[in-house]
Amino acid sequence: MKYSFKPGSVSWPVVGLILSLILIIGGAFSLYYIKGRTITIQDISSASKIAGLNFSYQEKKIMLPALKDNLASYKKMRNIHLENSVTPALIFNALPAGFDLRAVETDGQFIYDDPVSLEVPESEEALAFYPVTDLAWLIKNRKISSEYLTRIYLDRLKKYGPKLHCLVTLTEDLALKQARHADEELARGIYRGALHGIPYGLKDLFAVKGYPTTWGSPIYKTQVLEQEATVYKKLTEAGAVLVAKLSMGELAMDDVWFGGQTRNPWDPNQGSSGSSAGSASATAAGLVAFAIGTETWGSIVSPSTRCGVSGLRPTFGRVSRYGAMALSWSMDKIGPLARSVEDLALIFRAMIGPDGQDRTVFDLPFSYNGRSDLKKIKIGYHKKSFDEARHHQDKYLAVLDVLRSLGLELQEIELPEIDPEIISFILNVEAAAAFDELTRTGQDDLMVRQGPEDWPNIFRQARFVPAVEYIQANRLRSLLIEQFAARLKGIDVYLTTSGGSSLLLTNLTGQPTVVVPCGFDDKGHPLSISFIGNLFKEGLALRLAKAYQQATGFHLKHPDLSLLDQLKDAHRPEEED
C-alpha cells in the first residue's frame, strides 16, 4: 500500500509538534543513556586495546563488578579538592643500592675567589652585567649601596622587560624595602654574606605573599598564594633583594605564557626556550644579578643554553620545593641561573637544606673549593654525544681540547642500555595528576597553547596510562639508576653536549648538571656544554666548569640590547599600586 501526504490532508503544525517532542524525548533519553549507563563488556574491550591487553569474554565479565566499584571510588575521591601543593605519599629516592651518604664530602668547606679590589664602572650598563662575586665585593666594601644597585635593575626591568616578555610582576616596593634594610644592616656592621643586598628574580611559580603567582597561565593570572616558598625565605635570610617575578612557559612548558613568548636577548626574534624562560632571559640581559629557575626535563639547561648564561640543576633532594608549583613530584628540581659558575656556587649554598616541609630533601652540607687541584677530579666524557653532534661539533670537541690543555685526563664513558624515552611518560602522568582538575572541569581549554604536544592534550592522554604501567616504568627507573651508578663508578664529573641523551636520563636519575656557554654559532647564538656530576657532587662539577670558564671567557660576553629598541612592548607587566 502506498501512502502519500497531500497539502491540506494533515495539520502540519501538529506534525511539527509531534516531531519536536520525539526529538526532545529521544535526545533526553540518549543523554541519560550515555551519561548514566554502566560500564559494559564492550568498554572493557576498548580499554584493553589502549593498554595493549587481551582478555576472554569470561574474564571481562568477572571484572565488571570491581570496575564499577572502582569508578564509584573515583567519583568520591574527586569530591575531595586537592591543592597543587599536596604531595603523594610515595617519595622518589634517587640513591642506588649501597649508596653511602657518609661518603659524600661533608666538610662544608667553601672557598671562592673574592676580588682583591674593584672600582665602580662609570657606566651603569657595565655594572648591571657584573657577576655576583664582584657586586658582592662592591656592596660589602660600601663602594655602592644595595638601593643604588636595585634601582638600576628596576629601571632596566621596566625598560627591557616588556620587550623581552620576561617580566610578569615588578616587586618594586618590596625590593626597595629589602635593599634599604640591607644597607641599614651593613651600616650597623651586619653582613649576611655574598648575597647581601644583591637584586635577583624568581621564576613565577614560587609563592611570595602579597604577589600573584601566575604559573604562566591565564587560568591562574590573579592567583595569590598565602604562603612563601622556602627558596624565597632562604634567599631573603641571605640578604638577597627580590626585584621581579619572571616569566615561565605556561605550567612549566617551553617559553610561551599569557604575555607572549619570552625572547632571547641575543636574538629577539628567537624564543628564550623554557620553561625557566624569564629567568634566563633577564639574567642574560642584565636585568637581574641572578635568577632562580626550576627543571623537570631541561627547563634550566635549555634556556641557559639559548640565552648564554650559567645554570645549575642540582641533585634531586638538595633544595626544598615547598611553595613552588608542582609539575612532577619525582622530577622537579630548583636551581640558580647566573653569569658565572662561581656565582652559581654562592647562590646554591644559600638555597640548600631541609625545611621540614619537603620530605625529599637531604640534610647534607655543600662543599666547594674554587682553588682545589683539578687533577684530583675523576673526569669522564660521553664520547657518543660528541661524535653524533649534528651541528657545531667542532665547538664541542674544542671543550675537550681545552680541558686536556690544562693537563686533565678524560675517560670515555657509556650510558645505560635502557632507553629513558620509553619511561618519559612518568612526567606526563604526574603532571596530569597535578592538574587533574583542569582536565575534568574543561578549564584546560583556557590555556594558551592547544596543540597535540601541549599540556591540555598531554593531560588528557595521560589519563589513559594504566596505573600498572606507571609503576612498571618506575621499576625500570630503578634499574636505570643502578645501571647508571655502575657506569659512573670511579667518575666524579662527566661532559656531554647539552640537550643530548643525558638530559632526560639525568633528570630521571637525579644527577646534578652545570651548563655553561662554550661559544657561538654562525648567527651569534650561544652554545653550551654540560658538566654532569655524580650524586651530590655539585661542588666538583662547578669547580671543573669554573676552570673551563677561566680558560675561555665565553661567559664574559653579553648581548647587544640596542636590538630591542626596535621592538614594541607587547606586554606590560603588572606593577604595585
pLDDT digits (tens, 9 = 90+) for 23-44: 444 444 443 344 446 899 999 9
Q: How confident is the model at residue 108 (pLDDT cuts 50, 70, 90)?
A: confident
Out of 299, 320, 340, 528, pick the active-site residue: 299
- Give the residue-averaged pLDDT of 383-398: 96
pLDDT attached to residue 9:
42
Q: What is the pLDDT of residues 287-317, one digit of tens each?
A: 999 999 999 999 999 999 999 999 999 999 9
Is 273 a member of any domain?
yes
Q: Name the residue among 265, 391, 269 with its Cα closest to residue 339.
A: 265
**Please, are residues 200 and 154 in contact by the beta-carbon 8 Å criterion?**
no
Same domain membership, residue 276 and residue 392 = yes
Same domain membership, residue 221 and residue 342 = yes
Same domain membership, residue 317 and residue 177 = yes
Q: Looking up cell 560500564, which residue turns up?
A: 39
Structural domain span for residue 329: 101-105+122-420+449-575
Hey, what's the cell of 111? 672557598
Per DSSP (E only), the strands in 32-123 are 110-111
Is 372 a member of any domain?
yes
Q: What is the pLDDT of residues 454-473, one digit of tens each?
A: 999 999 999 999 999 999 99
Q: For the chain, what is the domain count?
A: 2
Residue 442 has pLDDT above 60, yes or no: yes
Is 87 a member of any domain?
no
pLDDT attached to residue 566:
77
Hey, what's the cell of 90? 610515595
Q: How confident is the model at residue 19 (pLDDT cuts 50, 70, 90)?
A: very low
Phi, psi of 44 (to 5 degrees): -65, -40
DSSP for 169-219, please give it. Answer: EE-HHHHHHHHHHHHHHHHTT----TTTT-EEEEETTB--TTSB--TT-GG
Residue 540 has pLDDT above 50, yes or no: yes
pLDDT attached to residue 443:
98
pLDDT attached to residue 106:
60
**Please, are residues 388 and 396 in contact by the beta-carbon 8 Å criterion?**
no
Is 440 a member of any domain?
no
Same domain membership, residue 18 and residue 160 = no
- Does 203 qualify as catalytic in the annotation? yes
Write the CATH number for 505: 3.90.1300.10
pLDDT attached to residue 575:
41
Q: Name the residue among 188, 183, 303, 205 with its Cα closest to residue 254.
A: 303
Q: What is the pLDDT of residues 263-282, one digit of tens each?
A: 999 999 999 999 999 999 99
The set of residues, in sequence order, having a beta carbon less than 8 Å from that of 69 and lying 6+ positions away, is: none
- Give the residue-averaged pLDDT of 121-147: 98
- Does 299 qualify as catalytic in the annotation? yes
Is 426 a member of any domain?
no
**Summary mean pLDDT of the chain:** 92
Out of 146, 247, 272, 275, pick the active-site residue: 275
Peptide bond between residue 299 and the one before it cis (omega within 30 degrees of 0): no
Q: Give the length of the chain.
A: 577
Same domain membership, residue 61 and residue 128 = no
pLDDT attached to residue 563:
85
With pLDDT > 70 as the criterion, what percentage of the chain qualifies?
A: 92
- Does 123 qualify as catalytic in the annotation? no
Out of 60, 163, 203, 245, pick the active-site residue: 203
User: How does strand 167-170 pair with strand 241-246?
Assistant: antiparallel
Residue 6 has pLDDT above 60, yes or no: no
pLDDT attached to residue 30:
40
Same domain membership, residue 70 and residue 127 = no
Same domain membership, residue 27 and residue 167 = no
Q: What is the pLDDT of residues 339-356, one digit of tens each?
A: 999 999 999 999 999 999
Residue 481 has pLDDT above 70, yes or no: yes
Is 8 a member of any domain?
no
Is 6 a member of any domain?
no
- Give the residue-averaged pLDDT of 179-190: 98
Same domain membership, residue 175 and residue 34 = no
* Least confident window among 129-138, 355-364, 417-426, 568-577: 568-577
